[in-house]
Structure 1
Amino acid sequence: MRGEQLSDAIVYDKLHVLKKDFYGYIERNTVKVDANIPVFYGYVISALENSFPNLPDITCDEFIDSITFKVLDTSTNIGDFEYVKRVTASAIRIKKKKDAEMGINIVIGLRLVKAGDYAPALDFLKKYATLDSKLGTTVAYCYYILSLREFRNDDGSVQNHGQGKMALLARELMLNLARIQPPVNMLKRLELEDPSFLEKIFWQMIVIGLEWFPDEKWFVEVGLKNAVFTHDTKMRKRLLDIGSKRFYTDSHFLREMYDYKLENRDAAGAAGVVNQLIRQYPDDLEPIYLGLKLSLIMTEKIAYHNLRKRAIMTGMPAHIIELFDVTFDLLNHDQKKAMIRITDFEKDFPQFQYYATALRYIASDFTSGDKLQVQKARTALLDTIEQYCAVELKNKKWSHASSSDSLKETK
């Protein structure tokens, strides 16, 4: 493979295969690996350098972190601190970046959390708590569980644990996370074979955070981001219900609800959200923009033209309105009118001639007798309009690119 230039996709696929090969080897030979940790890591770095000579340092280190987690997760020696130190030293020795220790500390800390060793896990994780929301909620969870143990009675019951040091640390960290608002799912690069323990911890602490601080909307926001990322429809619906009740005047939650309604093919529900947004924000363009997109899906002429008039009155850019007109005509099978509009668009806005050319090619496929080709043209049209508007309207802060998939699926 030396001397070959591989695409990023091919490199990723081959790395994934190599990682699975090592995972299988670790599972079959865990005792042998534990007995020869430095030798094993020598095999790891040799395989990477021979198969991927131009691999970026960060990708190399992420691979090593994933292998390290698998070694620790499979071994029965996780409770032996000398063993953990040997694994740590061997992994750090072959990593490329200067902050190699951080990734290994996180890996060890997460493995200790998975094993239920919360106090030692804090020693490895707490200084990284604000790097990622899931990491932060995991540290808060460690504090929370330890707080229960502080006040556990002989019969197993717990009293006044909220007054202990660990409980206060858990609350303080959750508030700090809401203030800093770290990103979520940065740990996905570890590609944990079974991340379910992290998911359970994250959701438990989000629910607890909402109980502790019911007016802190960040817990709902970060929860929604994770629910979309992990395709957790149950938690997404639960958080949307909470957000729409507690923060019903917040446009963010209403937009999230709009997307949810579209994805579930609930056009009437989406229309209700649009109407609510227009009532609450009568001078904003975004609700009108969302309404226009919905009327494109439903091909409702009266609704479209009413919203079009409102868009003009509210100051929507003329070229955006004309693009919606082209799209509406094509979706209503009026290709002749759409082609005339494209010509007018080209004359009125010569700076967008490149886009008019692309629209002509897409529009020509709408007359095809092949249903599949027509559907592909429809998808491409909705995609290009969505993406174009997202770029054009970005400076106005009312673009909404995330709903393009909804537009395609709802029809």
Structure 2
Amino acid sequence: MGEGFHPTTAEELEAVVKWAAAERTPLEVIGSGSKRNWGRAVQSAHTLRVDGITGVVDYEPAELVLTVKAGTPLQEVEALLKEHNQELPFEPANLSAVLGAPAQSGTIGGVLATNLSGPRRLKAGAARDHVLGLEAVSGRGEPFKAGGRVVKNVTGYDLSRGFCSSWGTLAVATSFSIKVLPRAAKECTFVLLGLTPQEAAQAMSEAMGSSAEVSSAAHLPHGFCPLSQEHSITLLRLEGIPVSIDYRLDKLRSILKRFPSQELIEGQASRKTWGDLRDLIPFAGSSKPLWKISVSPTAGQQVIAELEKRFAIRWMMDWAGGLVWVEMQGDEPHDVPLRRLIAENGGGHATLLRASVELRADVDVFQPQPETLMGLSKRLKAQFDPHNILNPGRMYAGI
């Protein structure tokens, strides 16, 4: 790796990008580097680290709005919000353990650039749904602002949301305004034991369609969760005030009474269960290819059944079956047959979360785009980064 740039102000970052644009010199843009092993490796002699641009710009708890610099550690952001009994509603994961990065090393900018959203996405929405505005520097070296500090402020392109899932290929953000929410007064998890994936999919669908207001729904096979090594577990999370949770819990028990093996996890034990699931702790300590598969909730269990016929896998379902994590037990990613199988079962997309550098260079890490959509992606890249200097090839070869 060649020279590294580590600016501590937006002005210093702008100067680096202007220089790179003038010299047509690619930059690998990272926060702290905690997600460096996710995505395609960037071919660049220079690294631009943003984790020196830190600090809270403005925080008004009563207004539920936080403005923070992009390099601020996620851990610090969450600790600040917790002091005021608030939280990031999209529940971002800390993937350090599964990606082999130092613990608690992610930044808020990295979370938003990858649109990293946890189990509560079912109810709260994705990370991009909570970004009100941002300040950034384009690949031309031009600073710009998008959005603001209120919800209804968008005219034209919604660049604040567009930044999310761009993986630093369009612009380098320096600060964000984010909508936050109060923490739930109480949390508990209703647990069903011993369900098959098909039964779990049905139970989760019924729970999500009920008035119980389930905020998260997941299913783990037997031997996969410390809560129960002998049985599969289906998890349904309830959050809110105690009297509301009691009422909704009775609803769940009534709706799902045909499944007699039921348990309840409360308080810190419930939070830890969802935290471990969010951070993919069951897949930590391995280097085998790990896939993030997004399908319709009704298709998740079918995709698992078809995969188990062909490959040795470990898996778990989140988002009521709409998100399937699959770890291949061999060293091959099997990307082509996996994506073909997804297409045959209603469609969706698959992202290779973890694999060796060699594998990530040889396969499509992100879901291949249709020709028309790829054309739009290339034109958008050309508008923001005409010289292709920001994380070139990080998502797709050539852009």
Same structural fold, with TM-score higher than 0.5 when normalized by the shorter chain: no
Whose strand proportion is higher, 1 or 2? Answer: 2
Instruction: Please report the TM-score for the alignment, with normalisation by the length of structure 1.
Output: 0.24
- With CA pairs under 8 Å and 6+ residues apart, which has the higher RCO, 1 or 2? 2
Structure with higher helix content: 1
